[in-house]
Chains A and B, each alone.
Chain A
Amino acid sequence: MRDEEGSELAATVTSPRRSRISRLQRREFLFGLLFVSPFLIGMLLFWLGPMLYSLFLVTQKWNMLAAPRFVGLRNIQYILTDPLAGTALVNTAFYTFIGVPLQLVTAFALAVLLNQQIRGRAAYRTIYYLPAITPAVASAVVWTRILSSQYGILNEFLKTLGIAPVSWLFNPPFTKPAFILMSLWAVGPAMIIFLAGLQSVPKELMEAAEIDGASTWRRFWKITLPMMTPVLFFSLVVGIIASFQIFTAAFVMTNGGPQNATLFMVLYIFRNGFEYFDMGYAAALSWLLFCVIMVFTAIQFRLSNRWVYYEVG
């Protein structure tokens, strides 16, 4: 076995005998396929297969007990007339398009602060990161109390500033901002990605600009920010995809209320699928959300060449 392979390798180097080369190539191809097969099988079983099956489900009326019934495009039609679907989509879009930019700005500001040469940087970094590893259910349970209108610490704090207590989780206009505020608490991962990005901005570039008399502000806008755009772009794409799929906080804290103000898409899909057992409609709603996310992802990639700066080489 050993010698054979060795001579095979030697053969490829010295005498280019076609059959030998292709045999080696074929062997490597089969090994490559073998090694990646878990992923490929997983793709088929847990992504591609389910997605195709979901397309079929969209055309069915099925509660998982009686036999499924073909309804054509009625599930899709129903989305257009279902006011809750619209509400869920608008809520989700609001949470995403207001929340994600704020999350990125917060994470970026924290990263800039932590990028200074100061003592105790690691300790600060740890503290700012801690909320991100808190389980979603636990932070939802805790924030329910933090946002409580009576004895919640947020209102207690506002009281010291002379602001009247706010009914964060029971007054519709305040619930989504409260959710966004909560999401700002957990921006740790983005902060660390930005911090790594800031630290990889070449020192020579900054020094050269400093010698040329560029102010700190100008250096930030003309060097740091352009160099950070690839990392910002990545976080924006990933952040929007994740934010569109918010579920746990809404499920645990408000269960969609008050007056459907926190009825987000995944929560509505969950209800249709696992509470009303309307699998066809839940599949249709999933496809709607999927398409919305993919469209916004595609738009971002389209727009990226206008603002994302990639170093050549």
Chain B
Amino acid sequence: MELGQATPAPTHTYGKLGALQSRSLQTKISHGLLHVLLVVLGVTFLVPFIWVASTSLKLPGQIFISPIEWIPKNPRWENYAELFTYLPFHRFILNSFFLAILEASGAVISSTIVAYGISRIRWKGSGFVFALVVATMLLPGVITLIPTFVLFKKLGWVGTYYPLWVPAWFGSAFFIFLMRQYMMTIPVELDEAARIDGASHFRILWQVIVPLCGPALATIALFAVLGSYNSFMLPRIYISQTSMYTIQLGLQLFQGRFGNFWHLVMAASMISILPPIVLFFVAQKYFVQGIQLSGLAGR
């Protein structure tokens, strides 16, 4: 490139080559340092997990010693069995799963339908509804906390699961947004061809669009499952009967009653942490994809 310009002397080119060689050595060193830094950070991020796991397998006598014994000598798996004698954790887990499935199905179905209405049907209100979706994403949910409680109380829904999963079936702004972003990447020609063949909107959605939206559907399902499983405030407000507790409510109850037994509390925490972690490892791709899609809101 520089040859055409004639001015730079050949020595200059050699100098650049030398610089390149020393640069590769430099990159090697800097990459080494980078790895050290990344590992140190990684350990920092992982330490709480390692500590929970290790504490959950100890006896009190092994916990309250310093320095910390990271790998317990005689891991006490019985701690986990002991938990179930105090509170029905299996019940809590099942309740959580039940709610997560109900909420996720609602979120997936309704968000897909609404996103189709915004992105694939040409009608006057679609732009307005999309603006409404985006605006709703920025509304702080706290404002509805008190009045919806009164509403659900009047409906006789306090003490039931309805307040937790019914709203999900009306679509959440964030999921609609994600789905719409994804649907926008599907060529319009596909619908138009189906339209000319006389297919109704329901058929286009079901037979043309939905089969192409697999990754987005998976992402929404994952986020919905996780959101439901991890939620605490709403279950805390609406559920009072222990047999209906979710795992998060159960953990909080257990921590309140048995807070001094660190080993048991940590075992209970492990039970709460494990399902989302397993889910994460199974479906990591969709997590990353979904978060990236959400970040595109800034573009």
- Point out residues on A near B: beta carbons under 8 Å: 1-3, 5-6, 9, 25, 28-29, 31-36, 38-43, 45-47, 49-51, 53-54, 57, 64, 110, 113-114, 116, 118, 120, 124-131, 133-139, 141-146, 150-151, 153, 156, 159, 185, 189, 192-194, 196-197, 230-235, 237-238, 241, 244-245, 247-248, 251-252, 265-266, 269-270, 273-274, 279, 282-283, 286-287, 289-290, 293-294, 297
Judge whether B45 and A290 touch: CB under 8 Å.
no
Interface string of B58-69 (1 = CB under 8 A from A): 000001111110
Distance between Cα atoms of A279 and B45 in the complex (Å): 41
Nearest 10 A/B pairs, CB to CB: A35-B117, A42-B170, A234-B298, A193-B295, A32-B123, A2-B198, A50-B147, A36-B117, A196-B292, A54-B147
Judge whether A46 and B167 touch: CB under 8 Å.
yes
Judge whether B266 and A142 touch: CB under 8 Å.
yes
The smallest C-beta distance from A61 to any residue of chain B, in angstroms, reads 14
The smallest C-beta distance from B36 to any residue of chain A, in angstroms, reads 11
15 CB-based A-B contacts, threshold 8 Å: A31-B123, A32-B121, A33-B123, A34-B117, A35-B201, A39-B114, A57-B147, A110-B41, A124-B41, A135-B272, A192-B288, A197-B298, A234-B297, A241-B138, A289-B140
Q: Which residues of B contact A42 (CB under 8 A)?
A: 110, 167, 170-171
Q: Which residues of B contact A279 (CB under 8 A)?
A: 146, 150
Query: Which stretch, B4-12, B80-88, B129-137, B213-221, touches the partner chain A?
Result: B129-137
Distance between Cα atoms of A150 and B77 in the complex (Å): 25
Name the one of B125, B133, B272 contacting A137, with C-beta atoms under 8 angstroms: B272
The smallest C-beta distance from B66 to any residue of chain A, in angstroms, reads 6
Within 8 Å of chain A (Cβ to Cβ): is B178?
A: no
Given contacts A124-B38, A245-B142, contact A130 B280 (CB under 8 A): yes
The smallest C-beta distance from B224 to any residue of chain A, in angstroms, reads 14
Given contacts A133-B280, A153-B68, A193-B294, contact A64 B150 (CB under 8 A): yes
Judge whether B133 and A39 touch: CB under 8 Å.
yes
Distance between Cα atoms of A142 and B232 in the complex (Å): 16
Within 8 A of A (CB), among B244-291: 247-248, 251-252, 255, 262, 265-266, 268-269, 272-273, 276-277, 279-281, 284, 287-288, 291
Name the one of B144, B255, B279 contacting A51, with C-beta atoms under 8 angstroms: B144
Name the one of B31, B65, B248 contacting A135, with C-beta atoms under 8 angstroms: B248
Interface string of B131-166 (1 = CB under 8 A from A): 011001011111111111111010000000000000
* Contacts across chains A and B counted by CB atoms under 8 Å: 285
- Point out residues on B near A: beta carbons under 8 Å: 31, 34-35, 37-38, 41-42, 45-49, 51-52, 55, 63-68, 110, 113-114, 116-118, 121-126, 129, 132-133, 136, 138-151, 153, 167, 169-171, 173, 176, 195-198, 201, 226, 229-230, 232-233, 236-237, 247-248, 251-252, 255, 262, 265-266, 268-269, 272-273, 276-277, 279-281, 284, 287-288, 291-292, 294-295, 297-299
Distance between Cα atoms of A31 and B203 in the complex (Å): 13
Distance between Cα atoms of A232 and B141 in the complex (Å): 22
The smallest C-beta distance from B164 to any residue of chain A, in angstroms, reads 12
Mostly, the B contact residues are helix
Judge whether A137 and B299 touch: CB under 8 Å.
no
The smallest C-beta distance from B287 to any residue of chain A, in angstroms, reads 8
Name the one of B126, B129, B146, B291 contacting A283, with C-beta atoms under 8 angstroms: B146
User: Which chain B residue shows the least CB distance to A182?
Assistant: B48
Q: Which residues of A contact B49 (CB under 8 A)?
A: 130
The smallest C-beta distance from B112 to any residue of chain A, in angstroms, reads 10
Distance between Cα atoms of A34 and B129 in the complex (Å): 12
Judge whether A135 and B142 touch: CB under 8 Å.
no
Judge whether B198 and A1 touch: CB under 8 Å.
yes
Q: Which residues of A contact B251 (CB under 8 A)?
A: 135, 137-138, 141
Q: Which residues of B contact A1 (CB under 8 A)?
A: 198
Judge whether A133 and B171 touch: CB under 8 Å.
no
Q: Which residues of A contact B34 (CB under 8 A)?
A: 113, 116, 118
Q: Which residues of B contact A270 (CB under 8 A)?
A: 145, 233, 237
Q: Which residues of A contact B52 (CB under 8 A)?
A: 142
Distance between Cα atoms of A9 and B192 in the complex (Å): 10
Distance between Cα atoms of A54 and B123 in the complex (Å): 33
The smallest C-beta distance from B135 to any residue of chain A, in angstroms, reads 10
Q: Which residues of B contact A46 (CB under 8 A)?
A: 144, 148, 167, 170
Judge whether A289 and B142 touch: CB under 8 Å.
yes
Judge whether A53 and B143 touch: CB under 8 Å.
no
- Residue from the set A51, A196, A266 with the largest chain B CB neighbour count within 10 Å: A196
Q: A38-B171, A245-B141, A247-B232 are in contact. List 18 more A-B contacts (CB 8 A).
A: A32-B126, A39-B176, A43-B136, A118-B38, A127-B42, A133-B287, A135-B247, A139-B48, A141-B265, A146-B48, A252-B232, A252-B252, A265-B142, A270-B237, A273-B146, A274-B237, A282-B146, A297-B138
The smallest C-beta distance from A188 to any residue of chain B, in angstroms, reads 8
Distance between Cα atoms of A31 and B143 in the complex (Å): 32
Q: Which residues of A contact B41 (CB under 8 A)?
A: 110, 113, 124, 128
Name the one of A125, A136, A237 contacting B232, with C-beta atoms under 8 angstroms: A136
Q: Which residues of A contact B230 (CB under 8 A)?
A: 133, 135-137
